[in-house]
Copies of this chain bind each other. A is one copy, B any other.
Amino acid sequence: MSKATITHIARALNVTPSTVSRALAGNPRVSEQTRLLVQAKAEELGYEPNVMASSLRKGVSNTVGMIVPRINRQFFGNVISGVEAILNPAGYNLLISQSHERVADEVKSVNTLLSHRVAGVLISHSIETTNFSHLQKVLDKGLVLVQFDRVAASLQGAQITNDCFNGAFLATKHLIKNGYKRIGHLGGTLLASVYLDRLKGYQAALNEAGLATGDELVFQDVITREAGFDAMQRVLAAGCDALYCAGDYAALGVIEYCRQQGIAIPGDFGVVGTANESFAPLIAPSLSTLEQNAFDMGNKVAEAFLDRVNGAIFSSHHTSIPMRLIVRDSSLRMQSKLIIET
């Protein structure tokens, strides 16, 4: 069965467990000869190291905990992927947990991870979370904490976010360049810094161009497809000829409304979304959008973790990842042919 411990190998070879341990670890204090013997025997017995025993003894574990609101969201799936791409080769494994956007679940997840004596916690906190004492506890225990996407500035440790301000700035500027004059904004809740930054970036671009800006052009809490669809009446009433949307789903609703009303996109109306959801290149017209670069973010998160675990506390505290504008059809002034930019 699942026997085969270091001790079994030791007995079979008439050496001590210490020697076997060192042999397997490649410690130079054991001779080449016995190392080969040990490796052969380990292979023969189907030995699998017991990381629990090892971590217990060493006091450090090779698993790191990751908490995301929902694992089945494209964005987070990609972040996780990006993290694994760096962490696995470095010998770490990921214990993944979901908060389901609920602070209670998040707290429970943190405790579970602490029980597992993870080497660190990587988290994008739930939308509900406003009290961060559970994460402070992580820091207090001397563990590495890396926040990403949704971060609490008040907490120590690395923070990796998208550069939403510049992204929104870029997107809006792109609309301006394409000749749109009265550009509105479908935004999210301003309690989340990502949405606040997008609003600010959007406004900055308008200001720079000397275009009209004002509250009547900004529509708060419009992130779903339905909300985007429903908001269009007000958007048109406000005289807008384009929109920068803080989310692709809202932009989708906009496109559907226009199709239904016979408003040509991009002929009569321009749209840029945010997130590059998987449907963005697939709908008609294809949706110009800001790419969040989730995989990249995952890489950065993992690197920040490794930096800190290896004692590089000096590594930059806050990393902002540039968002890339993907120009597709929905934001061009003239109806163009199908251009796939990926």
Contact = CB atoms under 8 A, between A and B. Distances in A.
A284 interface: yes
A90 to B, nearest CB: 13
A282 B283 contact: yes
Interface in A97-119: 97-98, 111-112, 114-117
Interface stretch (A9-17, A28-36, A46-54, A154-162): A46-54
B114 A48 contact: yes
B81 A77 contact: no
Given A80-B71, A84-B71, A95-B93, A50 B56 contact: yes
Q: In terms of DSSP, what is the predominant structure of the interface of chain A?
A: mixed
A177 interface: no
A126 interface: no
Contacts of A137: 46
A51 B279 contact: no
Contacts of A310: none
Interface string A1-14: 11000000000000
The 9 closest A-B pairs by CB, nearest first: A72-B77, A279-B279, A2-B141, A48-B114, A52-B52, A72-B81, A279-B282, A72-B78, A51-B115
17 contacts: A2-B142, A48-B114, A48-B115, A50-B115, A52-B52, A52-B116, A70-B81, A72-B77, A72-B78, A74-B74, A93-B97, A94-B96, A225-B282, A277-B278, A278-B278, A282-B282, A282-B283
